[in-house]
Chain A
């Protein structure tokens, strides 16, 4: 930036701050540390932090800060040039059991057994695509803009696909997910989750499950494609190192293999999600989402109304805990979608418009949330004014999936990011 700077970071982010400074070219950056947390502390408690010691160096914090701005630079701090970062040897040789342990101990897995990626298995996997092994697929980081992007090739994606237990025919879908550049292991303290909606004939070609238990562990393509997303996020973008590139305080079980949603197109009364995004029904497409997580809809008001439950009311009710950091992904069993048609919703867009108008929060309540500035930027807004959760109807996204064993839905506080053609990776 061109002027002396003293970064001030809470101790909980020590490893992240130091490793990130190093990967951005300032390994000796004079980072000063405070106790953790700062958020929620009184003014007096925060002032006491300043009068105390830096918990890393043990020296008085404010002296550390003033020294960071005034002590002359050392020769090492003035260094220029560049160096490569090693990610280890190209291969590892040992017994199968020892290799399993090695991959696990070195953070290359999801802490479950993998399929060891041998040359033979890689060659078989690469038959799933016509693309050359050394072609660059894309880039990814644990949080875009906060960490350096890593690049990756078709071969590297295929190695991770092998490890996840994928079949070669799944590879184009996995390559499309990789191309989105969206990690499934976001570094955020929020413990984010990700979802991939899959549309087109590939759902049947691969025997994906979009019926009973569609989002559960009941079909190999759903399971392996989802697991591959986490495996490649870990290995191709350096995501998922606790304390350094992963800070989710609670973690999220969805990260094991993510929400893989093959839309139940044949039982949906509406056009598919990818068609809404401008693709043709015969095109194979993956669309990715990121956000807080997913929760059940059974407690929604209006679901007990007869003869047709008030699904619109229930969805609006279930979305009350949503924060405006992310949009809405509503997952509907085909029976719910049919019920919504009976209520008069001829399209997903019509339902989105109703929700945008009717899902509201009072300015008073909005001001008490973590997201006050986003919801009520104007201090003159009266407390009793009702504010829409989202300014635009397209914040609401709908996907129809499930086995019609009961008319249930789920709601996810997640935002749509991008749709990528699977066919281009075939």
Chain B
């Protein structure tokens, strides 16, 4: 009846007759046979160990730069860090800076400023 209307029964069944033919002739694989497959991973670069900069003997009288990488809320949070030093370690001077560029970009101008007039950095990252 459906074919008289120009409609294939397979169309209503939601699958093509061709696909059905194929699946019936497929030979099931032997589940226990072992095969070898390839590692799909790329090539990570070697890791170059970077020694940390020497630490300070004390923070007394030192200038700490509070650097935000631009994530939302970092500026307000670093303002609280500055306040904490004011209350608890008043000899420490803090300077707030927003790092230039995108989150992960280096900021050579700021680095030079910190080297010239600062002693350490607290960098706030995240949300």
Check A8–B123 contact: CB distance below 8 A: yes
Question: When A3-B119, A8-B125, A95-B34 are in contact, do A238 and B105 touch as well, CB less than 8 Å?
Answer: no
Range, interface on chain A: 35 or more
Check A36–B126 contact: CB distance below 8 A: yes
Against A, the Cβ 8 Å flags (1 = close, 0 = not) of B29-57 are 10111111111111111111111111111
Check if A26 is an interface residue, CB within 8 A of chain B.
yes
Check B51–A80 contact: CB distance below 8 A: yes
Check if A40 is an interface residue, CB within 8 A of chain B.
yes
Partner of B124, one of A8, A82, A94: A8
Check if B81 is an interface residue, CB within 8 A of chain A.
yes
Check if A321 is an interface residue, CB within 8 A of chain B.
no
A-chain residues with CB within 8 Å of residue B45 when the two chains form the complex: 85, 148-151
Check if B20 is an interface residue, CB within 8 A of chain A.
no
Check B39–A90 contact: CB distance below 8 A: yes
Question: When A26-B50, A90-B39 are in contact, do A65 and B122 touch as well, CB less than 8 Å?
Answer: yes
Check B37–A91 contact: CB distance below 8 A: yes
Check B47–A23 contact: CB distance below 8 A: yes
Check B44–A117 contact: CB distance below 8 A: no
Question: When A38-B73, A80-B51, A189-B127 are in contact, do A118 and B41 touch as well, CB less than 8 Å?
Answer: no
Check B125–A7 contact: CB distance below 8 A: yes
Check A10–B126 contact: CB distance below 8 A: yes
- The smallest beta-carbon distance between B72 and chain A, in angstroms, is 4
Check if B120 is an interface residue, CB within 8 A of chain A.
yes
B-chain residues with CB within 8 Å of residue A89 when the two chains form the complex: 39
Residue of A nearest to B50 (CB): A25
Check A73–B52 contact: CB distance below 8 A: yes
Check A118–B37 contact: CB distance below 8 A: yes
Interface residue stretch chosen among B1-9, B11-19, B110-118? B110-118
Enumerate chain B interface residues (CB-CB to A < 8 A): 29, 31-59, 64, 71-74, 76-77, 79-81, 83-84, 88-89, 102-105, 111, 114-115, 118-127
